[in-house]
Structure 1
């Protein structure tokens, strides 16, 4: 079913009373809680970045370690550092290899679809290189993931994409192992209804630890100014009334307004993901907020110790239903996300949970909580009845976004020189953001689009912005 996405309200600002995710609960000793580098805001900065999740932190990092680093970078965060989607996701860095090829090919063409797959695989390697280079302790595990179908409808869809990817020259040999034998798929995945599965490289990590390390590194070594609890309420241009053809636009300055004062910037980066349309109204209907839900689960003995799962996984059924999970090697806790198919109304899938009809990351969907509580026993063979202390530990929500192409917006905002966006990750940001941020930093430092290594379809062009229809599974 299609919904006219522009009919949804502006996302507003992040709510002041969000829930705590598993990651945020285990970061209460962080020195970044309530952190403000300076007592008051600086009057100006070369670059202001709005948002301190992985998009904001990684963009700051690649700008500051680059050969043409700005003199000053300021990050403004509405709540705590990394308190948005990055601090609430499933800890899964999992590239799409062949999975989205059919859909991307239909929208963008074969060559661009192949570039997206290559880009995501390169991002996995970039993440590993970054973590090793900066010696980041973030529980990073590099291994493989299962893409499993638990009914024939989902299997047919995956097989079509796999075959198209193969026929179009996509690299599968040595990357993807496809298993179509039902008994073998069940044995490998331990899923009682598995029809087929494919395995390929992926990783898991503690996302808050990654971001907090990058932020602290940029603060201590590169002079980053981080201001938490400083929501941005408006971003205006000093030359907003001028024609787009006016040559003075090359010297445009941006005024960033917060409750604590205003900051003038030469360049501003909107690393605002689901909240982007609040500050950039042209994205209303292009980036539409929604609510996702995750759970931390203490495994039963049959999935503990030497019997832990060896791979992360995502399992699919029907047209577009899926859940995803990792089992953390460090403590064995399972992080399970999804359950949207169990929500009772479309508004819940879009996360419209507060009084204004806007999605937030505070309240939870009770139906999804119950679903996540029992999902391991429903789908996985050998999952025991939970004893005291096992099973659902905690569940939480996060705010992400939906739109038709499931491709992020990265680059200069057309008609607004000096304004850049890195947003719209559709719950798939860990598989793309590091490379997106590095590419954006290259662009901001004077490089060409070709220099960025970003797929052309990521650009926030006017043509892309005109397509405001969004498909949901309801």
Structure 2
């Protein structure tokens, strides 16, 4: 029997994003000194999922009067605050995997949803005037060896053969010479260019949280871990914390990797997976007018498995955010690991060595250039590689938005909007979300256990943390 994931570590390390937010007005924030006794909706978790659900509820039609958001640590202190700042729709790479599990129609819908998410993120940032260094442009998926080039070609062709839309969306750059010239990657064998975005994720969440608190009556309670949720005879829920109990009409689990602690039926269906990311000061050859103008998914074969590292160069200051290098640590070290207070030196060293090897002309670094800081984050993985979103089918009034596979920036905003719509009584069809995201009995009846599904972890996906 696998162990429950427990609770977020009490003393996490700081990411680059968190290091730049020590002036946040929400550090230690509690909207009221005491915990509210009653709520219309109680949301557990203050990352992008929980925050966006609160935002869409409170800014939508007929907003609930009493919305409480409970957070075990600081506001936005989990995976959202530790990702790579990459809001990258996967244009075709995961299509075959989704088709195998859910069929062509759902696979196509999953791909389309990621582009819808990028559009919705853009819309919300512009509508609310969020200062979060948002940038929208293009990304390269770069095959850095022949095996990965061959695999990407097969995946692309399968998507096209099934009627997948690539016109004006995906540009193929085939052949080593053309790929190296376009991407500046020394070992590029092929590249695929598609739309993407990047941002400072913590700033987005803090802005939306502050807006909801100041203008819409959100009650945010930090350092209030939820220990249990139980049903009441009248259909309401009792949310038990270290500071008291909130009796609520509806409860939302935006708990990602930690979901099974409160919902044991998700044990082995959503599990923690630890990743590491870094911030790098580039040399002059990648600074100023020589900055990289696209973000990257750097794909390679390692130990017969396809892997992908991810990278953005921030347009605001030229710093590079670079993460991945999973193969530098054993799978057993990463699967089920919820400790984001420490980093693995072997992964940090691998991240440090990788960029000079990937890019042509990465000159010798002077003091102050190179790897500046490394941090860890805990992702929530699922058996099929897609999240659980919607009302829990055997728990009326309980909802979930979790298990984002390290790919949450390309999924959460539309999922959160959909959950808010369902809470307000709208149908699943009205959300436009893929039906396969629903937390059905059939999904939870599938064999559970992270190690029996290690191939899911190894599948090719350009993740965010």
TM-score tier, shorter chain, comes to: over 0.9
- Which residue of structure 1 aligns with residue 57 of structure 2? 63
Q: Does 1:413 align with 2:413?
A: no
In structure 2, distance between residues paired with 1:21 and 1:299? 18
- Which residue of structure 1 aligns with residue 96 of structure 2? 102
- Which residue of structure 1 aligns with residue 135 of structure 2? 141
Query: What's the CA shift string for 1:268-287, capped at 9, x where partnerless?
Result: 00000000000000000000
The answer on whether the counterparts of 1:14 and 1:78 sit within 8 Å (CA) in structure 2 is yes
- Which residue of structure 1 aligns with residue 313 of structure 2? 327
Query: What's the CA shift string for 1:20-71, capped at 9, x where partnerless?
Result: 0000000000100000000000101000000000000000000111112111
Deviation at 1:320, TM superposition (A): 2.4
- Which residue of structure 2 aligns with residue 348 of structure 1? 333
Stretches of structure 1 that go unaligned for 5 or more consecutive residues are 1-6, 240-250, 353-358
Out of 215, 220, 223, which is 1:226 matched to? 220
Out of 372, 388, 391, which is 1:393 matched to? 372
- Which residue of structure 2 aligns with residue 3 of structure 1? none
Stretches of structure 2 that go unaligned for 5 or more consecutive residues are 460-465
Deviation at 1:403, TM superposition (A): 2.8
**TM-score of the aligned structures, taking structure 1 as reference length:** 0.93
- SS state of the match for residue 372, structure 1? helix
- SS state of the match for residue 291, structure 1? strand
Out of 338, 355, 368, which is 2:347 matched to? 368
In structure 2, distance between residues paired with 1:214 and 1:186? 40
Query: What's the CA shift string for 1:313-336, capped at 9, x where partnerless?
Result: 001111321100100000111000
Which deviates the most, 146-155 or 419-428? Answer: 146-155
In structure 2, distance between residues paired with 1:283 and 1:178? 39
In structure 2, distance between residues paired with 1:374 and 1:153? 22
- Which residue of structure 1 aligns with residue 409 of structure 2? 430
Q: Does 1:311 align with 2:290?
A: no
Q: CA RMSD in A?
A: 1.1
- Which residue of structure 2 aligns with residue 217 of structure 1? 211
- Which residue of structure 1 aligns with residue 16 of structure 2? 22
The answer on whether the counterparts of 1:143 and 1:202 sit within 8 Å (CA) in structure 2 is yes
- SS state of the match for residue 266, structure 1? strand
- Which residue of structure 1 aligns with residue 433 of structure 2? 454
State the aligned residue count: 450
- The 5-angstrom pairing of residues 235-250 of structure 1 reads 235-239=229-233
Deviation at 1:401, TM superposition (A): 2.3
Out of 263, 272, 276, which is 1:280 matched to? 263
Q: Does 1:270 align with 2:253?
A: yes
